Amino acid sequence: MTIILDIILPVFGLVLLGYGAAKAKFFDDDAIRGLSLFVFNFAIPVMLFRTLAQTVLPESLEWGFLLSYYLGAFAVCGLGMASAGLLFGRPLEAQGAAALTAGYSNTVLLGIPLILTAFGDAAGLPVFLLVAFHSLLLLPAATAVIEAGRGRAEGLKRLPLVTATGMAKNPIFVGLMAGLAFNLLGLGIPGPVDAVAETLGRAALPCATFAMGASLARYRVAGSLAESAVLIGLKMLVHPALVWLLATQVFAVDPLWASVAVVMAALPTGVNAYLFAQRYGVGIPQAATAVLVSTGLSLGTLSVLLFLIGPQ
């Protein structure tokens, strides 16, 4: 009960408040988009920059931690592809969208607020490591599958350049890299700048969760419910189970870092999976359903998970 009151309700309370505000038309689409842009382009990047610049870095990179999460993520993406192709007869390009729907977590809008609330500042570094590589690894892989399915060799050739350009323009990635650079170079953040960054950082988490709830009001349950149910099951159950197995039984990851990886894997499908499907015009109903339903279900599944492996 303490976990629900102290961790789940503060985070999901803001999600529900944002959802209700959007449904009640207190915020129109332009206002929601503006808030989301503030979160993605300013608040979260500045918070990540400040935190990483001031974090004590480990002497070596936790490869077991990264492998536990991303081997699990790619395995689930593969299962998502297989389910779309073998069970539902989808072509290769639709399988690429299904892969991302099954394996792409809502790391920024929900993962960062939830994990920092649950585990505190000690969880900051492992969270930020996963966020740094999340889109960098998963989006190009799904793009490659779609381009291959459409027989566009030119698209595959341009993929590395498109990926590099996209990451260079991604404010969250830039914030992480800038914070890491400040840390490694031993640079301090000037007092007035740090004060502004701290203020923005305090706004980041509540604004992120509110914006997430507001954005959910635009989604509808649609398409093949059976197909969406399989993808949601892979995301909510199989993904965290695989990551737990790898982190605890294969790589012997530090308990706190292992818990962070498992919770990140148990997060609902991220909004980017829907935006990706929309961009390529494949798997849109399944992605929309997965984002909406998995987020609703995660209120229960994450409560149980944090009870089992969260802070005692």
Task: Quote the CA–CA distance of 22 and 83 in Å, as a whole number.
Answer: 34
Q: For tokens 């929900």, what's the residue? A: 110
Residue with tokens 């998502």: 80
Rounded Cα gap, residues 285 and 224, in angstroms:
8
Residue pointed to by tokens 């192709």: 85
Please state which CATH number belongs to domain 2-309. Answer: 1.20.1530.20
Q: Count of residues for the chain? A: 312
Q: What is the pLDDT of residue 4?
A: 65
> If you compute the radius of gyration of the chain from its CA atoms, what whole number of angstroms results?
19
Paired with 105 in beta bridges are 269
pLDDT of 278 reads 85
**Confidence band (pLDDT; 50, 70, 90) for 109?**
confident
Q: Which helix (H) or strand (E) holds 305?
A: helix 284-309
Q: What is the pLDDT of residues 149-181, one digit of tens each?
A: 776 656 567 777 777 787 788 888 888 889 989
Range with lowest mean pLDDT among 17-31, 46-60, 80-94, 187-201 = 46-60
Exposure string (b/e) for 225-260, b if CB count within 10 Å is 16 or more?
A: eebbebbbbbbbebbbebbbebbbeebebeeebbbb
Does position 312 have pLDDT exceeding 70, yes or no? Answer: no
Lowest mean pLDDT among 35-39, 72-76, 258-262: 35-39
Determine the pLDDT at residue 254: 94
Instruction: Record the pTM.
Output: 0.87
What's the pLDDT tens digit per position in 219-271?
A: 888 777 899 999 999 999 999 999 999 999 999 999 999 999 999 999 999 98
